[in-house]
Amino acid sequence: MTRQRIGFIGVGLMGHGMAKNIVEKGYPLTVMANRNREPVEDLVKRGAKEARNAREVAEACDVVVICVTGAPQVEAVVNGPDGIRAGAKPGLTIIDCSTSEPTLTRRLAEELAPLGVTFLDAPLSRTPKEAWEGKLDVMTGGSEADLARVHDVIACFAGRIVHVGPTGAGHTMKIVNNFVSMGYAALYAEALSVAKANGVAPKAMNAVLSGGRMDCGFYQTFFKYVIERDENAHRFTLANAHKDMRYCANMAQAAGIANPMGNAVKNYFAMAEAQGNGGKYVPMLSDEVARWNGVNLLE
């Protein structure tokens, strides 16, 4: 049986591992050139081909996976001068694994449908570690028939695939998921400062919460940094967290939903990024909140 030819655009922290799993599981893979040459060269060594731009990726492939930063980058990859649309042919399927805005996802699906191109959303949860291991959680949006055609491709990098609704529902769920997780991050950071200012050290706080009813996977990666100072415990930047919380605010506003908690969480990340810390990872918010409050979590 002839295997689908897969294209991959965005071989960054998450995309490198995802693309690695696709090519290692026997799919012909074409990746787009990137300023960071290391992941591209690694994938070429594993058997992938390199294309100069998104148009060339689309021309060479049956399925194109996008894993870029956010909505503006998705728009550029699809509709730019040498974008996917320029090289698309009837039958092409695009799987957007970025964290993008549902309004853009639905618009692109509507615009591409007359060309015979299917646009699906399949955003991700978990970390680059699980991307490399092929164990990501994936939230998919689209028709059951369209998703069935690309199920095995997504399964290359997914440990769990949940179909959450029509096109755009995947990105909606991803934003809600990140609202919950970034809400926890802001809560942990504030709680650490409150506790330390009142004589309870981070290790003592962790000894109570870890293994209890408030424990979870996100808690463990967050506190792995707080307690062990492992900067790679959760490799998701404060700038990306701020971006996702802006998307959450936009989504709530468009639906007429009040989200005061969402805005409070967003402002934590906005302040951290405004002070030049957008490149730091999410657990490091604890240090920023402590500094704002004149607290030292390390003493």
226 φ/ψ angles, rounded to the nearest 5 degrees: -60, -45
Q: Checking DSSP bridges between strand 124-125 and strand 136-141, what pairing results, if any?
A: antiparallel
174 is catalytic: yes
> Of the listed 49, 135, 174, 280, which one is catalytic?
174
| Cβ 270 vs Cβ 214: under 8 Å | no
42: left (phi over 0), alpha (psi -120 to 50) or beta: alpha
The size of the chain, in residues, is 299
CA angle 201, 207, 211 (to 5 degrees): 145
List residues bridging with 64 in a β-sheet: 7, 94
Residue matched to tokens 């492992």 = 230
Cα(177)–Cα(186) distance, integer angstroms: 14
Count how many Cα atoms sit within 13 Å of the Cα of residue 247 in the half-sphere of its side chain.
Answer: 28
- Classify strands 124-125 and 118-121 as parallel, antiparallel or unpaired: unpaired
List the catalytic residues. 174
